[in-house]
Amino acid sequence: MDEKTKRTEYTNPGDLELFRKAEQENLPLGIDRLKKMMPQCGFGELGTCCVLCYLGPCRIDPFDNGPKLGVCGANADVIVARNFLRAAVGGASSHAGHARELALLLLEVAEGKAPGYAVRDEGKLLSVAGRLGVPTDGRTVQAVAGDVARKALEDFGRQDGKPMNWIRARSTRKEYEKWEKLGLLVSNPHNEIETAMHRTSMGNDADPLNLWVATLRMGMVDNFAGLMLATDLSDILFGTPSPKVVSANYAVILPGSVNVACHGHNPILASKLVEWADKMEAEAKGAGADGINVVGVCCIGNELAMRSGASYAGHLAQAELFLVTGAIDAMVVDMQCIWPGLTTIAKCYKTRFITTASFVRNPDAIHVEFHPEHADERAKEILRHAIAGFRERKTAGLATHVPRASAKMLTGISVEALVSVLSAANAADPLAPVVDAVASGDILGAVGIVGCPNPKLRYSSMTERMAAELLRNNVLIVTTGCVNHILAHAGFLTAEATEKYAGEKLKKVLAALGKAAGLGAPLPPVLHMGSCVDNSRIYDLLAALAGKIGIEISQLPVAGSAPEFITEKAISIASFFLAAGILVHVAPPPRVFGSPFAIGLLTEKLPGINGGKVLVETDPEKAAAGIISHIRAKRQALGLPLP
């Protein structure tokens, strides 16, 4: 049977139905293109292909008798380190760009220039302001918001070499001192990105260690100028997520409604579409629809579900399949992870494919340039395109096929929400029940499973199998990004999953916490913390736990995993967690295996320097075993029991 129609116990039946439909309609998808691309370039996979100048392309063959040096004399260690740093730059630039848009919006809100938006969470504003040293007493929300926005933007223009405001405000003392000693306190994200591009261009940095330190610094840019900044400002502008149960999977598409699939990342656009979907219901009904149904694909699905409870459609690799249903009237995209090939499929089904960012264009798309100053007008314009799409679908009698695959999940577990849930068990010291359970061994440790759905591993159910194995061993899971769609579809974010997957000890803890919180059911064993930028929430949680115990984050019995990573953003996020001293499991193999220096650094030397370590494993059960053995070693070092 074809790779894409392989079945495991976790396979989403909706995927299979739509793969078959696309095949019958002779419509090639990404997975078909991947197959044609095999075998992929071995030099590229090893990271030893250099295209940074026109002496090349040069490729180093680490195994046979091929060249060992590029034309300029760069060896494999230098070439791999340069390539990897440039990938981290791509990721950090994406996250910093996302965060900067939010900072500009917050400033516009403070100055009354973005009438469609407001500060929705004053408590979060005051808390962020307090950490930044922005005075709050007796001041208006607008005044405080303006100062917080200016503090954010100050970091992007800083030339004094001082650490970023956001690092000073949002890291623990222990971590700050560690990063200071290691030379990882970055000052200005744009300068850091410029220097990284400069040092990796031809004829500059030829010291692999120096280049890898720059990669860890790029991780710091990613977290503090990207993830953390974006999360803080999104919470201020759109509200801090709180627990809610939402619907997921293909059945969230309603053929009788105007279906709008939001695909991308920044809530600035998507939150407006959700708002106007309600306001324009009468217009949709006038076109014969039941209403307007806005659903979220990939990370924006996380953002919308966490905050507004919008339906949670599917992950990046399912974006094509949602179009194949024929029932999407408009796919509206902002930025990042938007495959160019989507417009080909959209055309086949007469779906309006709408781009909204000046730097994310596609010749086959309708472009509606979106700026916060005219948000309401643009949101209406976009939804009118969708209503026109619905009308055409109905008038032409176009067939749809929406799989009935459906799931429910608990979402909205921000750190604030978690603390509030745990307060029901111990109001004076909310984190105490978790710390006690870790200390006793009822919770062996915790893993953040994050990132993307890679078709190279997707149809072996890499993520689901790894999660099941970790839970069976009493390891609690938190998730962000597209993997959460995967786990939600497979039913891991429900109370029933605790019964089905958790080991006996973990089950007992989750049942007690669920009861204390008045849920009437156990807490799910997989807790959804948001989109990829919300990895900052995982860092916040770790910082809170480590601070409470009085240890460094690197000493906690925890790990991160991107079991099916795809993007450069995953690389920059992983670089941050390495800088924070955490074990990071990744699959497929990162492009470092051509460099003995990189392998030695990432698996042996770095663990001795700050605790950070890379584990590469594409087999889910072996990956879980590697993570568990790391967690056990951390427990042993803390003198905790080893159940």
Q: Which residue ranges make up the site for ligand BF8 (CB under 6 A)?
A: 265, 298-299, 316, 337, 451-452, 481-482, 531-532, 566-567, 569-570
- Collapsing DSSP to helix, strand or coil, 158 comes out as coil
For residue 319, give every residue at least 6 positions away whose Cβ sits within 8 Å of its Cβ, in sequence order, or none: 261, 263, 297, 298, 331, 339, 342
CB of 179 to ligand BF8, least distance (A): 24
Whichever of 474 and 561 has its CB closer to ligand BF8, that residue is 561
- Asked if residues 443 and 506 have their Cβ atoms less than 8 Å apart, the reply is yes
DSSP for 333-388, please give it: E-SSS--TTHHHHHHHTT-EEEE-BTTB--TTSEE----GGGHHHHHHHHHHHHHH
Which residue, among 79, 170, 205, has the nearest Cα to 580 in the 3D structure?
A: 170
Q: Which two tokens stand for residue 309?
A: 């409870």
Which residue, among 87, 67, 64, 88, has the nearest Cα to 76 in the 3D structure?
A: 67
Q: Which two tokens stand for residue 145?
A: 């918001």
Whichever of 259 and 318 has its CB closer to ligand BF8, that residue is 318
CB of 341 to ligand BF8, least distance (A): 15
Whichever of 93 and 473 has its CB closer to ligand BF8, that residue is 93
Whichever of 572 and 610 has its CB closer to ligand BF8, that residue is 572
- Asked if residues 620 and 462 have their Cβ atoms less than 8 Å apart, the reply is yes
Whichever of 58 and 582 has its CB closer to ligand BF8, that residue is 582
Burial class (CB in 10 A: 0-12, 13-18, 19+), 38: exposed
CB of 569 to ligand BF8, least distance (A): 5
Backbone angles phi, psi at 349, to 5 degrees: -105, 15
Whichever of 322 and 390 has its CB closer to ligand BF8, that residue is 322
CB of 482 to ligand BF8, least distance (A): 3
- Asked if residues 164 and 158 have their Cβ atoms less than 8 Å apart, the reply is yes
Tell me the H-state helices in 158-290: 165-170, 173-182, 189-200, 208-220, 228-238, 267-279, 281-286
- Asked if residues 92 and 222 have their Cβ atoms less than 8 Å apart, the reply is yes
Whichever of 298 and 332 has its CB closer to ligand BF8, that residue is 298
Whichever of 306 and 532 has its CB closer to ligand BF8, that residue is 532
Whichever of 563 and 612 has its CB closer to ligand BF8, that residue is 563
Helix axes 76-110, 228-238, angle to 10 degrees: 20
Whichever of 387 and 587 has its CB closer to ligand BF8, that residue is 587
* Strands 352-355 vs 366-367: parallel, antiparallel or unpaired: parallel
CB of 563 to ligand BF8, least distance (A): 11
- Return the CA Rg of the chain: 24
The dihedral through the CA atoms of 496, 500, 506, 508 has a sign that is positive
CB of 323 to ligand BF8, least distance (A): 16
CB of 366 to ligand BF8, least distance (A): 22
CB of 317 to ligand BF8, least distance (A): 8
- Give rounded-to-5 percent helix, strand, coil for the chain: 55, 10, 35
Whichever of 30 and 239 has its CB closer to ligand BF8, that residue is 30
CB of 388 to ligand BF8, least distance (A): 28
Whichever of 179 and 238 has its CB closer to ligand BF8, that residue is 238
Angstrom distances, CA of residue 513 to CA of 139, 186, 428, 438, 488: 39, 39, 15, 14, 21
Q: Which two tokens stand for residue 572?
A: 């920059």
CB of 451 to ligand BF8, least distance (A): 5
> Given the structure tokens 């407006």, which residue do they identify?
272
CB of 450 to ligand BF8, least distance (A): 7
CB of 481 to ligand BF8, least distance (A): 3
